[in-house]
Amino acid sequence: MTEPLLEAVDVAKDLGSGAAKVAALKGVTLSLKGGELTLLMGPSGSGKTTLLSILGCMLRPTEGTVRICGHPTAGAGPEDLALLRREHVGFVFQSFHLFPTLSATDNVRLALDVRGQPSRAARVMSREALAKVGLAHKTKAYPRELSGGEQQRVAIARAIVGNPSIILADEPTAALDGENGRAIMKILAEIAGEQGHAVLIVTHDPRLLPFADRVVHIEDGRITGEEPGGAKLPRLQ
Amino acid sequence: MPLVFTLAFRNLFHDRLRLIATVIGIVFSIVLVTVQMGLYLGFGRMVTTMIDHASADLWIMPRGTKCFEDPSLLNTRERYRALLISGVTEVIPVVIGFADWRMSSGEMTPVFVIGSDLRYGGLEPWNLVEGRIEALSRPKAVAVDRTYFDRLGVSGIGSTAEIREQPVRVAAVTNGIRSFTTTPFVFLDVNRARTYTGVPSGKASYLLVRLSQDADRGRVRQEIVSNIADVEVLTPAEFRERSRKFWLFGTGAGAALFAGALLGVIVGTVVVAQTLYSSTKEHLTEFATLRAIGSSKRYIYKVIVWQALLSAAIGFSIAALIGNAIVRLTAATALPIVITPALLVGLFLLTVVMCVGSSIAAIVQVTRIDPATVFAR
C-alpha cells in the first residue's frame, strides 16, 4: 500500500485576527501511507496540534489542500467534514475523553453508533475491538474503574472499531507512566503494521522514537525535517 | 436500547440534584397548569349545570339573555303560541331568581330559587337522597342540597324557614347540586317561585320546549322565532356555550385562569431550559468528543432532545399523580377541578413541547462546539 491515505499540500493556517493574528502553519506538506506509524515531533507552540486538527478535518486550512482517502476537504461544510472523520479517521486523545457514564463497551460502541451501525452488531464489534487492545475482561467496566493505561486502550479501541484508514493520536502516552506508555505504543504500532492503518502520533516524547517508521519534525509552523524512525526493530517484540 | 437514549438517560441521572430541580420545575409548572385548566373546565361545567340537567329540546328566552342566571323575563302567554307549532309537545315555564332565606334563628342568607312546572318536570332537582319529587307539589315544599344545610339552618326533611316572609318546609334533599356562586339552590314549584322571587304572574324566565321524536328542530325553532316577538330560541348546546362564554370571558374569570396557566408554562420552560442548558454545558467536552469522532449535529441534538423527553415523562407522571389527588380533594367542593382525558393528553403534549422547546438553548450551545477543542482539554 503505497498511495497516501492522507495528503496535505502547502497547508497554512492563520489563527486569530487583526493584530493578534498568528501564522500557526506555514506551507506544510505531509503525506501518510497505510501500514506506517509516523511521529510528528516538535516543541510546544510549533503547530503540531493545529496540523493534527487540520489533518483530522476539525479545522480548515487558510491555504493549501488536504485529501483524506482521495477526498478533498476544500469547500466541505462542517457536516461533510464530520462525515469524513467518521468514515476515515480514528482519534486517540491525550486525556482519553471517555464518557464517564458509559461502560467500556458502550464507549467503544459510540464510534459505531454515530455511523448508524445497528446496536447488536456494534456491541459484538466493540467487544472484539476491546479484545484486540487486551481488555476482553473489562468490557463492562466504567472509566472510573480503569487505570489510565486501560482507559487509553479503550480510547484506542474506540478509534479502531470502525476500521478507519487513518488513526490520529495526540500525545497518547503523555498521561501514562513509562510501562503503560510502551504498551500503548506497541498497540498503535501493531495497528499500523498488521492492520495497514496510517498512524500519526503527535508527541514530544523521544521514548516513542523506537516505535516509529518515520519521524517528522515541525517547528515554528514549518516541517523542518524528516528521518526514519527506529521501528521494525522493537515492534511486535 | 439505542445508545443515544442510554447516553441521554445517564447524562440526566448522572447529576441527581439537577435532575430533581428539573423535575420539580416541570411538576410545579404542570400542576399549576392542571389546576388552572381543571378550574376552567370545572367552572365551565358548574355554570351550565342547570342547562345540563334540564329536560328540553329548545330554550325560549328573552332576547339578549347572557346566561342561565340572567334575570330577564318573558310572557308566559307565549307558551300557548309555541304549543300551536307543529312538532311541539310541551312548553314548560321556568322561573329563577335570587331571594332571601330566613332561618328559624332569624338569620338571613341569599338563595337562588329555581321553580319549574312539576307536572312536566322541566327542571327538577336531581340526585335526591331524601324525599321525592312529588312532595314538592305540596304547599310550602322546597328541595335543598344537603351541602348547604348549615348555611340554610336546616337539618333535613321537615325543617322550616321563610323566603320573603313566606313559610317553607324542606320536603326533599339533594346531594352535590352546588352553585359556583356559593349561593344555595332552592327547588320548588313554578308558581311559588314567582311569589318568592317577586316575578309577576304571567311571567317566566324561560320556556322549555319539548319536541315530538319526528320533529324538525330547526324548522320548529324558526317558527317560534317568527311567531313570538323579542325572544331567542337556543338549543341546550348553544345555551351552554353562551353561558360559558359569559362567565368565563365576559367576567374575565377565564382570562385569569388562562393567565395562571400561561405563567405555569413560562415558569416550567425557564426552569427546564436552565437545567438542560447547564447540563449541556457540563457535558460540553463529551459533546465535542462526539463531534470529533464524527457524529453529526443531529446525533447530538437527539441526545439533548431525549434528555428533554425523559425529563418530560418523569415530570408529567408525577404531576399527573398530584393532579389526580387534587381532583379527588376538590370533587366535593363548590368549584371542583376537572381533568378530562382530552385535558390529560393536552397536558402531556404541553409538557413535551415545553421540555423540547426548553432544549433549544442547549442545542444552540452545542451548535457552537468546536470539535478541535478536544485536543486542548
For A99, residues 6+ apart whose C-beta sits below 8 A from its C-beta are A106, A107, A110, A143, B7, B10, B286, B289
CB nearest to B7's CB, from A86, A91, A102: A102
Give residue A237's pLDDT: 39
In a domain, B51, yes or no: no
Out of A83, A106, A114, whose CB is closest to B6?
Answer: A106
What residue ranges define each of the domains in chain A, with the CATH number in brackets?
4-99+148-228 (3.40.50.300)
B181 shares a domain with B105: yes
Question: Is there a contact between A114 and B370 if contact means CB atoms under 8 Å apart?
Answer: no
pLDDT-based confidence at residue A236 (cuts at 50, 70, 90):
very low
Q: Are residues B13 and B67 in the same domain?
A: no
Residues of A in contact with B4 (CB under 8 A): 113
Contact A82 B296 (CB under 8 A): yes
State the pLDDT at residue A235: 43
Of the candidates B285, B294, B372, the beta carbon closest to that of A82 is on B294
pLDDT tens string for chain B (377 positions)?
789 999 999 988 888 888 898 888 889 888 988 888 888 888 888 889 999 999 999 999 999 999 998 889 999 888 899 999 999 999 999 999 999 999 988 899 999 999 998 888 889 999 999 999 889 989 899 999 999 999 999 998 999 999 988 999 999 999 988 888 789 999 999 999 999 999 998 899 999 999 999 999 999 999 999 999 889 999 999 999 999 999 888 888 888 888 888 888 888 888 878 877 887 788 888 888 999 999 999 999 999 899 889 999 999 999 999 999 999 998 878 778 989 999 999 989 988 988 888 888 888 888 888 888 887 65
CB contact under 8 A, A97 and B372: no
- The predicted structure's pLDDT at residue A1: 47
Cα separation, B132 vs B171, in Å, equals 8
The answer to whether position B237 is within a domain reads no
The answer to whether the CB of A215 falls within 8 A of the CB of A208 is no
Q: How far apart are CA A219 and CA A211, in angstroms?
A: 22
In a shared domain, residues B96 and B32: no
Q: Are residues B360 and B277 in the same domain?
A: yes
Percent of chain A surpassing pLDDT 70:
96
- Phi and psi torsions of B25, nearest 5°: -60, -45
Cβ-based interface (< 8 Å): residues of B facing A? 1-4, 6-7, 10-11, 14, 285-286, 289-297, 299, 370-372, 374-377
* pLDDT band of A88, cuts 50, 70, 90: very high
Return the H-helix or E-strand segment holding B93. Answer: strand B88-102
| Same domain membership, residue B256 and residue B153 | no
Query: Are B70 and B208 within one domain?
Result: yes
| pLDDT (0 to 100) of residue A159 | 92
The CA–CA distances, whole Å, from B95 to A171, B82, B101, B134, B320 equal 92, 18, 17, 18, 42
Q: Judge whether residue A2 has pLDDT over 80.
A: no
Residues B290, B181 share a domain: no
User: CA-CA distances (angstroms) from residue B143 to A215, B71, B127?
Assistant: 102, 21, 11
Specify the pLDDT at position B377. Answer: 56
pLDDT in tens, A170-223: 988 888 888 888 888 998 998 898 888 999 999 988 888 999 999 999 999 999
Under 8 Å between Cβ of B168 and B128:
no
| Judgement on whether residues B223 and B302 belong to the same structural domain of the protein | no
Task: Examine the domain organization and report whether B256 and B220 are in the same domain.
Answer: no
Report how many domains make up chain B: 2
> Hey, is A33 helix, strand or coil?
strand
DSSP per-residue letters across B278-304: HHHHHTHHHHHHHHHTT--HHHHHHHH
Query: Alpha helix (H) ranges present in B92-235?
Result: 149-152, 190-197, 217-227
**Those residues with Cβ within 8 angstroms of residue A90's Cβ, 6 or more apart along the chain or in another chain:** A111, A158, A159, A160, A161, A162, A164, A166, A167, A168, A197, B293
For B26, counting Cβ atoms within 10 Å of its Cβ (0-12 exposed, 13-18 middle, 19+ buried), the class is: buried
Q: Output the nine-digit C-alpha cell for A102.
A: 458509559
For cell 304547599, name the residue.
B139
- Taking only the tens place, the pLDDT of each residue in A177-192 is 888 888 889 989 988 9
Contact B7 A95 (CB under 8 A): no
ipTM of predicted assembly, 2 dp? 0.89
Cα(B50)–Cα(B58) distance, integer angstroms: 14
Q: What is the DSSP string of B99-112?
A: EEEE-TTS-EEEEE
Task: Please tell me the distance from the alpha carbon of residue A236 to that of residue A234, in angstroms, as a whole number.
Answer: 6
Same domain, B161 and B194: yes
Range of B300's domain? 3-46+252-376
In degrees, rounded to 5, the angle at the alpha carbon of residue A44 between the alpha carbons of residues A38 and A47 is 60
Let me know if residue B240 belongs to a domain. Answer: no
Give the nearest chain A residue to B303 (CA atoms). A114
Looking at B228, B244, B279, the residue that finishes a domain is B228
Nearest to B371 among A58, A90, A170 (CB): A58
With contact defined as beta carbons under 8 Å apart, do B300 and A110 qualify? no
Model pLDDT, residue B25: 86
B163 contacts: CB under 8 Å, gap ≥ 6: B99, B100, B101, B102, B111, B113, B142, B186, B196
CA atoms of B275 and B266, how far apart (whole Å) = 14
> Are A106 and B3 within 8 A, CB to CB?
yes
Q: Any alpha helices (H) in chain B, and if so which ranges?
A: 3-14, 16-46, 49-53, 78-83, 149-152, 190-197, 217-227, 236-245, 253-282, 284-292, 297-330, 341-367, 373-376
**Nine-digit cell string for B112:** 337562588
Contact A111 B293 (CB under 8 A): yes
Q: End of a domain among B228, B243, B263?
A: B228
**Are both B305 and B326 inside the same structural domain?**
yes
Do residue B345 and residue B279 come from a single domain? Answer: yes
The rounded distance, in Å, linking the Cα atoms of A218 and A52 is 12
